[in-house]
Amino acid sequence: MSISKICCIGAGYVGGPTMAIIAKQCPHIRVTVVDLNEARIAAWNDPDVEKIPVYEPGLSAVVAEARGRNLFFSTDVESAIEDAELIFISVNTPTKTYGAGKGQAADLKWIELCARQIARVAKSDKIIVEKSTLPVRTASALKDILQNTGNGVNFRILSNPEFLAEGTAVEDLFEPDRVLIGGDQSEEGREAIEALVEIYANWVPRERILTTNIWSSELSKLTANAYLAQRVSSINSLSELCEYTEADINEVARAIGTDSRIGPKFLKASVGFGGSCFQKDILNLVYIARSYGLTEVADYWEQVIIMNDHQKRRFANKIIQKLYNTVNGKKIAFLGWAFKKDTNDTRESAAIYVADHLLHEQANIAVYDPKVTEQQVLTDMDYLDTRSPEENRKLIKTYQDPYEACKDAHAIAILTEWDEFKSYDWKRIYDNMLKPANIFDGRNLLDKAALQQIGFKVWAIGS
């Protein structure tokens, strides 16, 4: 079957960019992205395309080309569901904060609500595509809801996990390493798989479109993120050993990265990984393993999270230690708040947890990030619920100018690897800081020797 109308439920970091690229590459397909969040949809429809809610290099140009032609953003969820032949579900699946599985299992409340709404509204056959990151065998629950609460129409379930890296999402969508599609291996299931394959084949070479059974597809997404996070935690664990042995983690990473069996990617020591996926997906993997009684498997993957949390605490503690074991009343400038460069996403950013640790010691935090707003910084800290919003506003200040953020600071902490930080006039920054002037490079971003020549004390990860 040939698809002419697509609906995507969820206009967030995955749904918005993915549908924008599909619309651009498939002008013959009408793509409607729906969300109940009126402010988010209004932002996607803002005449000033630079104000769309997701910052990704190149995304605004793609949206500008397709929006109004065959790409639409709407709050009318039911009309889009009824009209579509293929429906992507791309809603949030956060870690549960209550009940069984609290702190580890994925909260599937929004997935179930989507399934029930689709079942209630749909009057014709639909292909339902899981785009959200989900536990293995979620498709079984979706199928059960749709078949038992619907209007007698035929629903075919596919899994099509995203493998986007924020900051390079547009590039990843245009030229993916692979597109993974899982579905039932029945005749109907294979027809549904082929319908989605045909959409991606408009720009993705067919040899890069992998098809599997639906359970393999669901588990592959969790596994991919777990493997990537494992590499980050592994190199970070060695960074601490380097600091005790006077080895240099950058030299170690280069040495092992030239081994073709290992490779150089994800061997950059840092203050720790963040983002919406790594921690959530590993915790989900841990929960699934424990639910099957696989204790050793669960313990193995949980250690990746334990090491990541340790690295963030260790970084914050080093700041305190090098500032004579007290940061009370001292101004610490944070350069970067987003969890990585080229995105405005702050979910699980290391900066949040380092700031929280320092705020417990009554530090004053001055934040500069080129893409993150003051409201987002304060919302992130309020969400932790470790102090009152009034206290957060008293101790945290954001700046539009990095030089002002660093002025009169006792120390600077590099928390995001924004390229612009490399081009700053560091002599000017040094002259306006309190002495001794300290830099804590949590991303190993800057030239340590050059900064030391200026007069900075530089504390980099693993060197």
DSSP label at residue 126: E
Distance linking the first and last C-alpha atoms of the chain: 58
* DSSP code per residue over 399-445: -S-HHHHHTT-SEEEE-S--GGGGGS-HHHHHHTS-SS-EEEETT--
* 114 is a catalytic site residue: no
Closest CA to 277 of 126, 158, 150, 106: 106
Q: What is the rounded distance in angstroms from the CA atom of residue 48 to the CA atom of residue 286?
A: 43
CB 32 within 8 A of CB 66: no
* DSSP code per residue over 21-85: HHHHH-TTSEEEEE-S-HHHHHHHT-SSGGG-SS--TTHHHHHHHHBTTTEEEES-HHHHHHH-S
Q: What is the rounded distance in angstroms from the CA atom of residue 375 to the CA atom of residue 275?
A: 18
Q: Residues 6 or more apart from 8 whose CB is under 8 A from it?
A: 15, 18, 19, 31, 32, 33, 34, 87, 88, 90, 131
Compute CA distances 64 → 116, 249, 259, whole Å. Answer: 33, 43, 43
At 271 the three-state DSSP class reads coil
Q: What is the rounded distance in angstroms from the CA atom of residue 354 to the CA atom of residue 334?
A: 10
User: What torsion do the CA atoms of 332, 335, 340, 342 make, to the nearest 10 degrees?
Assistant: 160
DSSP label at residue 95: B
3-state helix vs strand vs coil in the chain, percent to 5: 45, 15, 40
Cis preceding linkage at 176, omega within 30? no
Tokens of 354: 């380092």
Closest CA to 349 of 361, 336, 363: 336
Which one of the listed residues 7, 242, 277, 406 is annotated catalytic? Answer: 277
Q: What is the rounded distance in angstroms from the CA atom of residue 316 to the CA atom of residue 353?
A: 9
Active-site residue numbers? 277
